[in-house]
Chain A
Amino acid sequence: MNPVNYLYLAALLFTIGATGVLIRRNAIVVFMCIELMLNACNLAFVTFSRMHGNLDGQIIAFFTMVVAAAEVVVGLAIIVSLFRSRHSASVDDASLMKL
Chain B
Amino acid sequence: MENLIALLVAAPLLGAAVLLCGGRRLDAVGQWIGTVLAGASFVIGVVLFADMLGKDAEHRILIQHLWTWIPVESFQADVTFRLDQLSMTFVLLITGVGSLIHLYSVGYMEHDERRRRFFGYLNLFLAAMLLLVLADNYLLLYVGWEGVGLASYLLIGFWQHKPSAATAAKKAFLVNRVGDMGLSIAIMLMFTTFGTFAFGPVFSHVGETGEGKLTAIGLMLLLAACGKSAQVPLQSWLGDAMEGPTPVSALIHAATMVTAGVYLIVRSGAIFNAAPDAQLAVTVVGAVTLLFGAIVGCAKDDIKKALAGSTMSQIGYMVLAAGLGPIGYVFAIMHLVTHGFFKAGLFLGAGSVMHGMNDEVDMRKYGGLRKYMPVTFITFGLGYLAIIGFPGLSGFFSKDKIIEAAFAKGGTEGWILGGAALLGAAITAFYMTRVMLMTFFGEERWRNQPTRSPEAASAEPAAEHHGEHAEPHPHESPKVMTIPMIVLAVGSVFGGAFFSIGDRFLHWLEPITGHSEGNSPLSAATVTGGTMVCLLIGVGIAYAMYGRRPVPSVAPRGSLLTRAARRDLLQDDFNHVVLVRGGEHLTRSLVYVDHTLVDGVVNGTAASVGGLSGRMRKLQNGFARSYAVSMFGGAAILVAATLLMRAV
B615 adjacent to chain A (CB < 8 Å): no
When distances are taken between beta carbons in the complex, the residues of chain B under 8 Å from A95 are 621-624
A55 to chain B minimum Cβ distance, whole angstroms, is 25
A9 adjacent to chain B (CB < 8 Å): no
Cross-chain pair count, CB within 8 angstroms:
28
When distances are taken between beta carbons in the complex, the residues of chain A under 8 Å from B621 are 95, 98
* Count, chain A residues at interface, CB 8 A: 13
Pair A98/B632 contact, Cβ less than 8 Å: no
When distances are taken between beta carbons in the complex, the residues of chain B under 8 Å from A94 are 624
A73 adjacent to chain B (CB < 8 Å): no
B615 to chain A minimum Cβ distance, whole angstroms, is 13
A3 to chain B minimum Cβ distance, whole angstroms, is 21
When distances are taken between beta carbons in the complex, the residues of chain B under 8 Å from A1 are none
Pair A99/B625 contact, Cβ less than 8 Å: no
A21 adjacent to chain B (CB < 8 Å): yes
In chain A, positions 46-68 with a C-beta closer than 8 Å to chain B are none
Complex alpha-carbon distance, A92 and B625, angstroms: 8
B629 adjacent to chain A (CB < 8 Å): yes
Pair A92/B623 contact, Cβ less than 8 Å: yes
When distances are taken between beta carbons in the complex, the residues of chain A under 8 Å from B620 are 97-99
* A18 in complex: contacting residue of B617, B623, B632, CB < 8 Å: B632
When distances are taken between beta carbons in the complex, the residues of chain B under 8 Å from A21 are 625, 628
A22 adjacent to chain B (CB < 8 Å): yes
* A98 in complex: contacting residue of B622, B625, B629, CB < 8 Å: B622
A77 adjacent to chain B (CB < 8 Å): no
When distances are taken between beta carbons in the complex, the residues of chain B under 8 Å from A70 are none
Q: Which residue of B lies closest to A92 (CB)?
A: B623
B635 to chain A minimum Cβ distance, whole angstroms, is 9
When distances are taken between beta carbons in the complex, the residues of chain B under 8 Å from A91 are 623-625
* B622 in complex: contacting residue of A18, A22, A97, CB < 8 Å: A97
In chain B, positions 606-626 with a C-beta closer than 8 Å to chain A are 617, 620-625
In chain A, positions 76-95 with a C-beta closer than 8 Å to chain B are 91-92, 94-95
Q: Which residue of A lies closest to B620 (CB)?
A: A98
B619 to chain A minimum Cβ distance, whole angstroms, is 10
Complex alpha-carbon distance, A45 and B621, angstroms: 35
Q: Which residue of B lies closest to A23 (CB)?
A: B625
Q: Which residue of A lies closest to B635 (CB)?
A: A18
Complex alpha-carbon distance, A33 and B382, angstroms: 120
When distances are taken between beta carbons in the complex, the residues of chain B under 8 Å from A92 are 623-625
Complex alpha-carbon distance, A18 and B634, angstroms: 14
Pair B628/A96 contact, Cβ less than 8 Å: no
Main secondary structure, interface of B, reads helix
Pair B622/A96 contact, Cβ less than 8 Å: yes
Pair B617/A22 contact, Cβ less than 8 Å: no
* B628 in complex: contacting residue of A22, A25, A97, A99, CB < 8 Å: A22
Pair B617/A99 contact, Cβ less than 8 Å: yes
Complex alpha-carbon distance, A18 and B629, angstroms: 9
Complex alpha-carbon distance, A21 and B629, angstroms: 9
A35 to chain B minimum Cβ distance, whole angstroms, is 15
Complex alpha-carbon distance, A99 and B629, angstroms: 19
When distances are taken between beta carbons in the complex, the residues of chain B under 8 Å from A97 are 620, 622
When distances are taken between beta carbons in the complex, the residues of chain B under 8 Å from A23 are 625
Complex alpha-carbon distance, A25 and B623, angstroms: 10
When distances are taken between beta carbons in the complex, the residues of chain A under 8 Å from B624 are 91-92, 94-95
When distances are taken between beta carbons in the complex, the residues of chain B under 8 Å from A22 are 625, 628-629, 632
In chain A, positions 1-42 with a C-beta closer than 8 Å to chain B are 18, 21-23, 25
Q: Which residue of B lies closest to A24 (CB)?
A: B625
B580 to chain A minimum Cβ distance, whole angstroms, is 55
Complex alpha-carbon distance, A22 and B627, angstroms: 9
When distances are taken between beta carbons in the complex, the residues of chain B under 8 Å from A18 are 632
Complex alpha-carbon distance, A25 and B621, angstroms: 16
- Most-contacted residue by chain A among B617, B620, B621, B622 (CB, 10 A): B622
Complex alpha-carbon distance, A22 and B625, angstroms: 6
A36 to chain B minimum Cβ distance, whole angstroms, is 14
Complex alpha-carbon distance, A97 and B619, angstroms: 12
A98 to chain B minimum Cβ distance, whole angstroms, is 3
Complex alpha-carbon distance, A96 and B623, angstroms: 8
Complex alpha-carbon distance, A22 and B621, angstroms: 15
Complex alpha-carbon distance, A55 and B617, angstroms: 46
Q: Which residue of B lies closest to A25 (CB)?
A: B625
Complex alpha-carbon distance, A37 and B591, angstroms: 64
Q: Which residue of B lies closest to A18 (CB)?
A: B632
B84 to chain A minimum Cβ distance, whole angstroms, is 83
A19 to chain B minimum Cβ distance, whole angstroms, is 10
When distances are taken between beta carbons in the complex, the residues of chain B under 8 Å from A99 are 617, 620
A42 to chain B minimum Cβ distance, whole angstroms, is 18
Complex alpha-carbon distance, A25 and B624, angstroms: 10
Q: Which residue of B lies closest to A21 (CB)?
A: B628
Contact digits for B494-528, partner A, Cβ 8 Å, 1 yes 0 no: 00000000000000000000000000000000000
When distances are taken between beta carbons in the complex, the residues of chain A under 8 Å from B628 are 21-22
Complex alpha-carbon distance, A23 and B620, angstroms: 18
B460 to chain A minimum Cβ distance, whole angstroms, is 75
A25 to chain B minimum Cβ distance, whole angstroms, is 8
When distances are taken between beta carbons in the complex, the residues of chain B under 8 Å from A25 are 625
Q: Which residue of A lies closest to B632 (CB)?
A: A18
Q: Which residue of A lies closest to B621 (CB)?
A: A98
A96 to chain B minimum Cβ distance, whole angstroms, is 6
Complex alpha-carbon distance, A91 and B620, angstroms: 15
Q: Which residue of A lies closest to B627 (CB)?
A: A97
Q: Which residue of B lies closest to A96 (CB)?
A: B622
When distances are taken between beta carbons in the complex, the residues of chain A under 8 Å from B617 are 99
A27 to chain B minimum Cβ distance, whole angstroms, is 9
Complex alpha-carbon distance, A80 and B622, angstroms: 20
When distances are taken between beta carbons in the complex, the residues of chain A under 8 Å from B622 are 95-98
When distances are taken between beta carbons in the complex, the residues of chain B under 8 Å from A96 are 622
B182 to chain A minimum Cβ distance, whole angstroms, is 63
Complex alpha-carbon distance, A13 and B621, angstroms: 29
A14 to chain B minimum Cβ distance, whole angstroms, is 11
Complex alpha-carbon distance, A95 and B628, angstroms: 13
When distances are taken between beta carbons in the complex, the residues of chain A under 8 Å from B629 are 22
B127 to chain A minimum Cβ distance, whole angstroms, is 73
Known pairs A92-B624, A95-B623, A97-B622 / 5 extra A-B pairs, C-beta < 8 Å: A18-B632, A22-B625, A91-B624, A92-B623, A95-B621
Q: Can you identify 16 A-B contacts, CB atoms within 8 angstroms?
A: A22-B625, A22-B632, A23-B625, A91-B623, A92-B623, A95-B621, A95-B622, A95-B623, A96-B622, A97-B620, A97-B622, A98-B620, A98-B621, A98-B622, A99-B617, A99-B620
- Closest 7 A/B residue pairs (Cβ): A98-B622, A95-B622, A91-B624, A97-B622, A95-B623, A98-B621, A98-B620
Residues of B near any A CB (own CB < 8 A)? 617, 620-625, 628-629, 632
Residues of A near any B CB (own CB < 8 A)? 18, 21-23, 25, 91-92, 94-99
